[in-house]
Structure 1
Amino acid sequence: MANLEECRSAIGLVSERITQLDEAQRRAHIVERTISLTVSDLETVFAMRLTPQGLVDVTDAPLSTADGRAQVRITIASDDLVALANDRLDYAKALLTGRVRVKASLGDMARLRKLL
């Protein structure tokens, strides 16, 4: 099981990957959204905003204090989060096998797929 610091680093890696995309791609596929990332085995929720500048305003809090109002809600285990961020786990497979659960609009799901 990964710890909170490893999860923060994984989120940082994903943010870096976003900022490395061509600016035209970011403008085409990124619409600012609020995101909650529930790390189920750590009972922690990371709240953040997705912007063309990456994932910003990242905070974490215990699961018991989560408000559930984010536009995109993701649930994942800590090891899977780290594996996804390090390209050791395929996003599509993880989604299809239930290792990653996403609650979002269809448009947001399509945009996420193009980013990951």
Structure 2
Amino acid sequence: MATIEECRAALDQLSDNLARADKDVRGAAALDRSLSCHITDLDTTFTGRLREGRIEVRGTAPGPPREKAEIRLSMTADDLLAMVAGDLNFAKAWAAGRVRLEAGFRDLLRLRSLL
């Protein structure tokens, strides 16, 4: 099982990947929304913002998210690391229920190109 530190590094890498992505992906991620990522097996939530195509992690807290972020992710630590490494396809993991993504309808439409 991955550690909290490895998950934080994976979120930083995901942010870097988004920043270097092609114009369509960067455009889809160019929202300004609160974000939470609950790592279920570590029972830890990372909170922050998705802003200008980057993920800004601002905090870590034990347990599920305390506040409802505008974009909410939930997955295991190993799934997060596998997705960032390119070993797990987000859309397939989402369809299989391994990853949960919750957001408003308009945000889901914009984020669909990331899937």
Same fold (TM over 0.5): yes
Q: Which residue identity lines up with residue 34 of structure 2 in the other structure?
A: T
Structure 1 residue 80: Cα displacement: 0.1
Using structure 1 for the length normalisation, give the TM-score. Answer: 0.87
Summarize the alignment of residues 65-104 of structure 1 with structure 2, pairs less than 5 Å apart. Answer: 66-104=65-103
Summarize the alignment of residues 14-25 of structure 1 with structure 2, pairs less than 5 Å apart. Answer: 14-22=14-22
CA deviation digits over 1:61-113, x for unaligned, max 9? 1016x323200111100000000111100011000000001111122123223
Once residues 13 and 93 of structure 1 are traced to their aligned partners in structure 2, the CA distance between those partners, rounded to angstroms, is 21
Q: Which has the higher helix share?
A: 1
Percent identity of equivalent pairs: 36
Summarize the alignment of residues 53-68 of structure 1 with structure 2, pairs less than 5 Å apart. Answer: 54-63=54-63, 66-68=65-67
Aligned residues: 114
Structure 1 residue 24: Cα displacement: 7.3
Gap regions ≥5 residues in structure 1: none
Gap regions ≥5 residues in structure 2: none
Q: Which residue identity lines up with residue 18 of structure 1 in the other structure?
A: L
